[in-house]
Every structure is written in C-alpha cells, then in structure tokens.
Amino acid sequence: MTVLELRDVVKEYKLREGLRTRKLRAVDQVSFRLEPGRTIALVGQSGSGKSTIAKLLMQLERPTAGEILVNDKPMVYRGSRAATYRKAVQMVFQDPFASLNPYHTVGHHLARPLRLHHPGLSREQLADRVLELLRRVRLDPAEDFVQRKPHELSGGQRQRVAIARALAPSPGILVADEPVSMLDVSIRLGVLNLLATLQREENLGVLYITHDLATARHFSDEIMVLYRGEVVERGPADDVILNPQHEYTRLLADAAPDPERRLAELKR
C-alpha cells in the first residue's frame, strides 16, 4: 500500500511584474510514493519549493497539474471524504512558538482535535487520550503537562506538543516542514529521534522537509533533492549522500560541512 503518492505534480504561481504577469513554477513535475513506516526526506535550499509541496498536502493550495493520492485514492477537497483526507495527513510546522495558542493549555490543544476526530469519546476517555498522547511524545510525567500553557514550556517541549496534536486524529502520514530548524541545536536530535520512533512503532509515513542533508541521511530511508521545484536527484539516503550525481547535491553537501561531524555536534 502507498499512503501518499504524487504524480507529476505542478504548482504555478502568477507573478505580477508591472503590467505583465509571469508564471513561476514553484513545483515542477514532482512524483513520489511514500509507504507506511518509511521516511522520505525532501531536501533543498530556501526557495526550492519544499513548503509549497507541504501546502499542497495540507490543501492550502491546489496543484496546477498532476495528481495527489492518499491511501491510493485521489485527493478530495470538499465534503465528507475531504474530512477523511484531512485526518489522514497531519503537519508539524517549523515554529513551535507560533503554532500553539498562548492562551490555551496543553490539554486544550490536544483535546480539541481528539473531540473533533473522535466525537464519541466521554470526558474520562478524552482525558485518558490526552495523557496517552503526551506519553507517546515522551512528555513525562504526562499529568504535569496537561494544565501548562505554552510559555511554561521549552521550544523542544512545545514541538512535542505540536507532534502530539498532529497524532490526535490518528493520521497515516506526518509532514514535518523543517521541524527542528528553530530549536536549539542541543535538543534537535531528541525531537528527530521521536519522529523516527513514531514512524517505526506506529507505522507512520513521514515526509521530512529540510535543508539539512546530514539529518536527512540519518533520519530517512530515501532522499529527494529539490532544486527550483524539480527533483534533481533521488535514491536511498546513503547513496545520495555518499555518491551524489547532481552538482547541486554536492553543493548542499558542502554547505553542511561534514555529515558525521554535524551529527556529532547534534549529539553533544
């Protein structure tokens, strides 16, 4: 089974330049298949089209051409099947400070999607499910976090709450757009390890969006290198890193000096 498939997906934006309009292909004929329990890294510099792909998956944009399939069915934008789709694909954003509401407790952030996607839950069941989510993202002891507000949490703890919230609807796919790039270097590895554990233990398909080849290699099965909206190189993570075919991949590898050293830094 394939949880997520893109077939020749194109996204064009129209840009105004004075009296003329120009088309910009933010995503150009991108195709890939994501299987359950696998991680694909989408790697590219700023402006290469990574977030546009995330927006297409979140239905914030629609493709200009091509097809997106979830669980082997074409994406639907309206009606009850659209709701099923939105449940299946969940997102973790870059900025854990902006993605949580400062006025709401951790418990509220998690109870809301649980109630929405599992309307039959009783109050007690809901409270149990909130605790269970907190344990799944290793916020321990879970009871201590329920009543806290975002400002009482560290960046890493906030990102764990954001991940717990993404897990609430029981998705098959997690899209993580630069999930650790705003966190302190010292806590990045912990959050990436959590995503890896969830992918493995819960059979999630993970699309890991990053500009960092070192973590892409460590945390994914497959790497796709995106350059100006196009996939210019793809393959098993080690092959792409150890034997890059495309000039741009080599440039990216050089920009992240030495993957082993970078990982050693992260682990410190």
Contacting residue, 19, 46, 103, 141, with ligand ADP by CB under 6 A: 46
The per-residue DSSP string of the chain comes to --SEEEEEEEEEEEEEETTEEEEEEEEEEEEEEE-TT-EEEEE--TTSSHHHHHHHHTTSS--SEEEEEETTEE---SSHHHHHHHHHEEEE-S-TTTSS-TTS-HHHHHHHHHHHH-TT--HHHHHHHHHHHHHHTT-SSGGGTTT--GGGS-HHHHHHHHHHHHHTT--SEEEEESTTTTS-HHHHHHHHHHHHHHHHHS--EEEEEES-HHHHHHH-SEEEEEETTEEEEEEEHHHHHHS--SHHHHHHHHHS--HHHHHHHHH-
Out of Mg ion, ligand ADP, none, which partner does residue 13 contact, by CB within 5 to 8 A per kind?
A: ligand ADP
Find the part of the chain contacting ligand ADP (CB under 6 A) among 42-50, 100-108, 193-201, 243-251.
42-50
Q: Are 222 and 41 in contact (CB under 8 A)?
A: yes
Contacting residue, 6, 28, 38, 49, with ligand ADP by CB under 6 A: 49
Tell me the per-residue interface mask from 22 to 61 with Mg ion, x by CB under 5 A, - otherwise: ----------------------------xx----------
- Residue closer to ligand ADP (CB basis): 42 or 139: 42
- Residue closer to ligand ADP (CB basis): 13 or 97: 13
CB of 227: closest distance to ligand ADP in angstroms?
10
- Residue closer to Mg ion (CB basis): 47 or 236: 47
CA distance 12 to 64: 6
215 makes contact with ligand ADP (CB under 6 A):
no
CB of 53: closest distance to Mg ion in angstroms?
9
Contacting residue, 2, 7, 12, 13, with ligand ADP by CB under 6 A: 13
Rounded to an integer, what is the distance from CA 255 to the centroid of its chain?
A: 22
CA distance 200 to 12: 35
26 makes contact with ligand ADP (CB under 6 A):
yes
157 makes contact with Mg ion (CB under 5 A):
no
Task: List 32's β-bridge partners, or say none.
Answer: 6
CA distance 246 to 82: 38
159 makes contact with Mg ion (CB under 5 A):
no
- Residue closer to Mg ion (CB basis): 137 or 231: 231
CB of 240: closest distance to ligand ADP in angstroms?
18
CB of 50: closest distance to Mg ion in angstroms?
5
CB of 175: closest distance to Mg ion in angstroms?
12
CB of 203: closest distance to ligand ADP in angstroms?
27
210 makes contact with Mg ion (CB under 5 A):
no
For Mg ion, the binding residues (CB under 5 A) are 50-51
Contact positions toward ligand ADP, by CB under 6 A? 13, 24, 26, 44, 46-52
